[in-house]
Chain A
Amino acid sequence: MLDLNGIRDMFAFWRPRKPPVPFAVQFKKFEIILERNNAILELMADMGDKLGGEYVFDGQYIVSACERLGDLVFKLISDLSVLTQRKNVDLFLAFESIQHQIEEELAGRHSFPNASLTMPLEELNRDVSEEAGNKLAHLGDVRNFLGLATPDGFVITSKAFFDFMAHNGVTRRVEEGLARLVPPGSSGSQVDEAGLDALSQDIRSRILEGEVPRPVAQQIAAMLDVLAARRGDKATLYAVRSSAWGEDAEFSFAGQYESVLAVPPAKVLEAYKRVLAGAYSPEVWRYRLHRGYKESETAMAVGCQAMIEAEASGALYTYAPLAQEDEAVVVSATWGLGAPVVDGTAETDTYFIDRCGAHAVRSIEVAHKPVRLAAKAGGGTGLVPVEPEFQDVSCLTPERILRLVQTAMTIERYYKRPQDVEWAFDAQDTLFILQARPLNMQPREVLSCPNGIRGAADAARNAEVIFSGKGTVVQHGVAIGKVFVVRTDEDLAHFPHGAIMVTHHTSPRYSRVMRKAQGIITDVGSATGHMSTLAREYRVPAVVNTGVATSLLKNGDEITLDTTQNTVFRGAVHELCRFELTGEESFEESAEFRLLRRLLKRITPLNLVDPHSEQFKASACRTFHDITRWIHEKAVEELIDVSERHWRRSGATPKRLDSVQPLGLMVIDLDEGPIRAGANQKDMPAVAQEELTSVPLAALLTGLTESGMWSTDPMSVDLGSFMSSFTRTFSSASAAPGKIGRNLAVVSHEYMNLHLRLGYHFNIIDAYISERVNDSYIYFRFLGGVTDFMHRSRRARCIAQILERLDFRVEVHGDLVVGRIKKLPPERMREKMLVLGGLIGYTRQLDVCLRCDEDIDRHAEEFLQRITPLLEVRND
Chain B
Amino acid sequence: MTDHGKSADPVEKTLGRARILILDDEPIVCKRLKPAFQKAGYEVETFTDSAHALARVEETRFDIVITDLKMEGVDGMRFLSRVKELSPETGVVVITGFATLDTAKESFRKGAFDFVAKPFKLADILDTVRRIEDKQRLDAELRVGKG
Binding site for B on A (CB under 8 A): 50, 54-61, 64, 453, 456-458, 460-461, 469, 473, 476, 564-566, 576, 579, 583-585, 587, 590-592
Contact = CB atoms under 8 A, between A and B. Distances in A.
A54 B118 contact: no
Interface string B15-43: 00000000010101101110110111100
B29 A56 contact: yes
B70 to A, nearest CB: 8
A50 B39 contact: no
Contacts of A458: 41
B39 A564 contact: yes
B35 A591 contact: no
Contact of A457 (B29, B41, B120, B122): B41
Given A585-B31, A590-B28, A592-B28, A564 B97 contact: no
Contacts, number: 75
Contacts of B118: 56-58, 60-61
A64 B117 CA distance: 14
A302 to B, nearest CB: 33
Closest 8 pairs between A and B when the two form their complex, measured CB to CB: A57-B119, A457-B41, A58-B26, A60-B97, A55-B119, A592-B28, A453-B38, A56-B32
Contacts of B109: none
Contacts of A453: 38-39
Given A58-B118, A579-B35, 5 more contacts: A56-B121, A58-B97, A564-B122, A576-B39, A585-B31
B12 to A, nearest CB: 12
Which interface class (under 10, 10 to 19, 20 to 34, 35 or more) fits B? Answer: 20 to 34
B121 A456 contact: no
Contacts of B126: 565
A579 B40 CA distance: 12
Nearest to B28: A592
A212 to B, nearest CB: 41
Contacts of B41: 457-458, 460-461
A56 B33 CA distance: 8
Contacts of A50: 119
B38 A58 contact: no
B9 to A, nearest CB: 18
Contacts of B32: 56, 587
Interface in B23-68: 24, 26, 28-29, 31-33, 35-36, 38-41
A60 B123 CA distance: 21
A50 B121 CA distance: 10
A476 B123 CA distance: 11
Interface in B107-128: 118-123, 125-126
A584 B123 CA distance: 20
Interface SS, B side: helix
B121 A54 contact: yes
Residue with the highest number of chain A CB atoms closer than 10 Å, among B97, B118, B119, B125 = B119
Interface of B: 24, 26, 28-29, 31-33, 35-36, 38-41, 97, 118-123, 125-126
A706 B121 CA distance: 45
A541 to B, nearest CB: 13
Contacts of B120: 55-56
B39 A457 contact: yes
Given A50-B119, A473-B123, A564-B122, A58 B28 contact: yes
A584 B30 CA distance: 12
Contacts of A565: 39-40, 126
A590 B32 CA distance: 10
B119 A61 contact: yes
A59 B26 contact: yes
B97 A64 contact: yes
A479 B106 CA distance: 43
Contacts of A64: 97
Count chain A CB atoms within 10 A of each CB in B36, B118, B126 and give the residue with the most.
Answer: B118
Contact of B36 (A57, A60, A564): A564
Given A456-B39, A579-B39, A58 B29 contact: yes
Contacts of A60: 26, 97, 118
Contacts of B119: 50, 55-58, 61
Contacts of B33: 56
B72 to A, nearest CB: 13
B40 A58 contact: no
Contacts of B40: 457, 460, 565
A630 B112 CA distance: 48
Given A61-B97, A456-B39, A457-B38, A55 B121 contact: yes
27 contacts: A55-B121, A55-B122, A56-B32, A56-B120, A56-B122, A58-B28, A58-B97, A58-B118, A59-B26, A60-B26, A60-B97, A456-B39, A457-B38, A457-B39, A460-B39, A460-B41, A476-B122, A564-B35, A564-B36, A564-B122, A565-B40, A579-B39, A583-B35, A585-B31, A587-B31, A590-B28, A590-B31
Nearest to A566: B123
